[in-house]
Amino acid sequence: MNYKKAIKFTFFSFSLKILDSYINNFLYFLDSYFVIYKGPICLPLKIKKFDILRSPHKDKDSRDQFEIRNYKKVIYVYVCNNILFTKIMNLSIPSSIDVNFSMQYVFS
């Protein structure tokens, strides 16, 4: 079996538009340095729903409903040296996006 060392970037956001625009910029950056990558892979949408009573004293059937949608995407970067990794870490990230990264070994 042939393994490759890869860096897994996981992006989280509540807004799909902001997440897609940032990932397009991220992929453009990777393409400019001729980096081999795989993705973006869309992970399942997580929806949390909340019901809140409008009035605490009467009319218990009257409720407001809210939901929070969490979007998640993954990109695997296969060829990455220390200089390129520091340039990736220096990219400006919008405040509404969370990024996690980890080193993994992946089948080639």
Provide the number of structural domains found in the chain.
Answer: 1
Residue 103 domain-assigned (yes or no) = no
Contacts of 37 (CB under 8 A, 6+ apart): 27, 30, 75, 76, 77, 78
CATH of the domain at 15: 3.30.70.600
Positive or negative: CA dihedral 31, 33, 34, 36 = negative
Strand-pair partners of 17: none
Taking only the tens place, the pLDDT of each residue in 53-95 is 888 787 777 888 999 999 999 999 887 677 888 888 888 888 8
- Three-state DSSP class for 66? strand
Phi, psi of 87, rounded to the nearest 5 degrees = -65, -35
- In a domain, residue 106? The reply is no
Q: Note the pLDDT tens digit of each residue in 31-58.
A: 998 888 888 999 999 999 998 888 878 7
Q: Has residue 101 been placed in a domain?
A: no
Rounded distance between C-alpha atoms, residue 52 and residue 68, angstroms: 14
Structural domain for 16, as ranges: 3-55+62-93
